[in-house]
Structure 1
Amino acid sequence: MSLGLGIVLFAIGAILAFAVNVTVDWIDVTTVGYILMGAGALVIILGIVLIARRRNTVSTSRTSVDPATGERVRRDETSTPDGPAAY
């Protein structure tokens, strides 16, 4: 979602900065376009960083024998380096 939002902000900012030739007394449309382009670029970078952090996972699989029944027990654990509460 953050990548999509960043691309939309950047695209709207580029349209306002380069394609719209409107003069408004109380606001500079070109400056608003540049601000939206900067915000979009920032959101894209943050989105990429968050996606990269989310993909660092550690998976552990253990197989043991239950001494009481003699059955094999398989335990799968998945964790992230920062812990599950980081997201």
Structure 2
Amino acid sequence: MGIGSGIALFVIGAILAFAVNLDLGGVADLTLIGYILMVAGAVVFVLSLVFLLRRRSVESTTRTAVDPANGAQVTTRRTRDNGDTVV
């Protein structure tokens, strides 16, 4: 959703900056608003890509021990994804 929002902001800003020729009597400068929206769209797009392409780390740990009470072998498996225990 972030990538689409960034593209939408950029396109709306480009339309306001380059295609709309409307004088509002000094109330608002649509060209400046368009440039601001284009910058905001580019920032949202880049941040979305950074979070999307961020490397994920997965750590798997397997431990085997012998239960002293009955001599049975006990295996414990634990998987972590970015520091959070999954299994």
Mark the structure with the bigger radius of gyration: 2
Query: Counterpart of 1:62?
Result: 62
Unaligned runs of 5+ in 2: none
Alignment of 1:1-87 (within 5 A): 1-25=1-25, 26-53=27-54, 55-62=55-62, 64=64, 67=67, 68=70, 70=72, 73=75, 75-80=77-82, 83-84=83-84
Aligned pairs, number: 81
Q: Distance in 2 between matches of 1:77 and 1:10?
A: 41
Q: Percent same amino acid at aligned positions? A: 42
More strand by share: 2
SS in 2 for 1:64: strand
TM-score under structure 1 normalisation?
0.72
Task: Measure how far apart 1:32 and its partner are.
Answer: 0.5
Unaligned runs of 5+ in 1: none
Write the letter of the residue equivalent to 2:64: S
* Aligned-pair Cα RMSD in Å: 2.2
Q: Distance in 2 between matches of 1:73 and 1:24?
A: 73
TM-score under structure 2 normalisation?
0.72
Task: Measure how far apart 1:35 and its partner are.
Answer: 0.5
